[in-house]
């Protein structure tokens, strides 16, 4: 795709309108995330058609900005659109730190080596980071279970194939004309993957823990309804032996499992992705993590994207938690492709790798204001920067 086409896709996606300082123009980014999402969705549609599924309900690259549209979010520069992540100067660069949960805020005194805080948590974090290397900051945050990433502005040496999977050839279950999907995930990337498969006609069941329900239901109920609408839901107490056996049986009967936990979290429940895939003979386990199954780091859409170098000038955040929708579309394609091929196994999908693969040199173009709207002028075409727009709830 030409630079002009990539710029146009970014401007039309609604994501560009979310990138930049609140008092400045929307910005281009050093990458082609909208094009990457469009390509994944086109490939997903082709794969679905070949399998006899209906791709006509699939959205387009505007899904990059639909959470912001539903929640009324705007660009905020070095603060994420959702407000939970910030870009902070370190002694040798920039780090992205996320404090989205009550437990994150409670861990700040330990992060900055204080018994108690006398100032605001973010101010304490910024002061502590100022005299420390990015590597030291990320190391300590990881130790405390906090999400943080050092910004890497270098370009990847070569595009990643992304599908760093392990699996074996298997047979699709006899008579299965549409995949049976079990979704164990929450937040955005995993639920989007399940949502896209449901739009294709997959039989999707969302399994939710009674101890740890999806926080999106309370934080963004309209967005939760968009992704979960029309999907069956089962609530299980995973600490109860009967419910755990029920979950295990459900996983063995599935064609695709979507999960976004660190492997050790499931291991504590006695659930092994590789063992499930091997025992079932037809299950593809789509494992979504921030930095890969071998990493103990956690991460969210904004800090992962920043760590992968997908940022605007300043630096400022690119769109809203952009690693999530980029990963969700790629995961749906990876899972469906495995089902169509009849193979099974575990697909290790790192959000960082998905974003990293979309990193490209920054395109040359001007952003101008005209008649109350923003436009991108690349010397060949003038493209309006569209604001985020929601899809109707299914």
Q: Is the Cβ–Cβ distance between 206 and 232 less than 8 Å?
A: yes
* Token pair recorded at residue 305: 């994207």
Q: What is the pLDDT of residue 3?
A: 56
| 30-to-34, 185, 273, 360, 362 alpha-carbon distances in Å | 12, 30, 35, 6, 4
Q: What is the mean pLDDT of residues 372-391?
A: 89
What pLDDT band is residue 164 in, cutting at 50, 70 and 90? very low
Q: What is the pLDDT of residue 333?
A: 96
The strand pair at 316-317 and 311-312 is best described as antiparallel
Least confident of 76-90, 105-119, 141-155, 230-244: 230-244
Q: What is the pLDDT of residue 176?
A: 62
What pLDDT band is residue 393 in, cutting at 50, 70 and 90? low
Residue 132 has pLDDT above 80, yes or no: yes
What pLDDT band is residue 392 in, cutting at 50, 70 and 90? low
Residue 229 has pLDDT above 90, yes or no: no
Q: Is the Cβ–Cβ distance between 285 and 294 less than 8 Å?
A: no
Residue 1 has pLDDT above 50, yes or no: no
Q: What is the pLDDT of residue 2?
A: 54
Average per-residue pLDDT for the chain: 89
Q: What is the mean pLDDT of residues 102-108?
A: 94
The strand pair at 373-377 and 366-370 is best described as antiparallel
Q: Is the Cβ–Cβ distance between 85 and 98 less than 8 Å?
A: yes
23-58 per-residue burial string, b: 16 or more CB within 10 A, e: under 16? eebbbbbbbbbbbbbbbbbebbbebbeebebebeeb
Q: What is the mean pLDDT of residues 273-283?
A: 88
Q: What is the mean pLDDT of residues 290-297?
A: 91
Q: What is the pLDDT of residue 69?
A: 95
Residue 169 has pLDDT above 70, yes or no: no
User: Is 0.85 surpassed by the pTM of this model?
Assistant: yes
Ranges of H-type helices in 134-179: 134-143
Q: What is the pLDDT of residue 268?
A: 82
């Amino acid at each position: 795709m030409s630079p002009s086409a990539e710029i146009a896709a970014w401007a039309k996606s609604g994501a560009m309108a979310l990138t930049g300082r609140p008092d400045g123009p929307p910005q281009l980014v050093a990458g082609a995330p909208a094009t990457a999402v469009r390509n994944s969705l086109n490939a997903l549609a082709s794969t679905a058609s070949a399998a006899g599924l209906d791709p006509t309900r699939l959205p387009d690259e505007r899904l990059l900005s639909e959470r912001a549209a539903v929640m009324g979010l705007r660009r905020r520069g070095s603060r994420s659109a959702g407000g939970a992540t910030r870009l902070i100067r370190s002694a040798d660069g920039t780090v992205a730190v996320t404090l989205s949960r009550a437990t994150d805020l409670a861990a700040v005194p330990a992060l900055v080596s204080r018994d108690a805080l006398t100032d605001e948590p973010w101010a304490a974090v910024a002061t502590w980071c100022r005299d420390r290397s990015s590597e030291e900051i990320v190391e300590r945050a990881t130790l405390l279970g906090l999400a943080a990433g050092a910004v890497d502005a270098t370009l990847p040496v070569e595009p990643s194939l992304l599908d760093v999977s392990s699996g074996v050839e298997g047979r699709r279950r006899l008579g299965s004309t549409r995949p049976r999907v079990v979704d164990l995930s929450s937040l955005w990337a995993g639920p989007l993957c399940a949502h896209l498969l449901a739009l294709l006609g997959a039989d999707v069941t969302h399994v939710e823990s009674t101890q740890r329900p999806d926080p999106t239901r309370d934080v963004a109920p309209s967005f939760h309804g968009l992704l979960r609408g029309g999907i069956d839901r089962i609530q299980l107490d995973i600490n109860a032996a009967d419910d755990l056996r029920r979950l295990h049986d459900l996983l063995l009967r599935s064609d695709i499992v979507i999960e976004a936990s660190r492997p050790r979290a499931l291991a504590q429940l006695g659930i092994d992705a590789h063992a499930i895939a091997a025992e079932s003979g037809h299950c593809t386990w789509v494992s979504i993590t921030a930095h890969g199954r071998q990493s103990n780091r956690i991460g969210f859409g904004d800090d992962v994207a920043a760590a992968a170098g997908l940022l605007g000038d300043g630096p400022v955040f690119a769109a809203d938690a952009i690693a999530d929708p980029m990963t969700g579309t790629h995961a749906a394609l990876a899972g469906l492709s495995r089902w169509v091929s009849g193979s099974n196994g575990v697909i290790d999908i790192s959000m960082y790798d998905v974003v990293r693969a979309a990193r490209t040199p920054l395109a040359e173009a001007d952003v101008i204001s005209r008649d109350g709207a923003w436009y991108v002028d690349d010397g060949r075409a003038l493209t309006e920067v569209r604001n985020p727009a929601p899809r109707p709830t299914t």
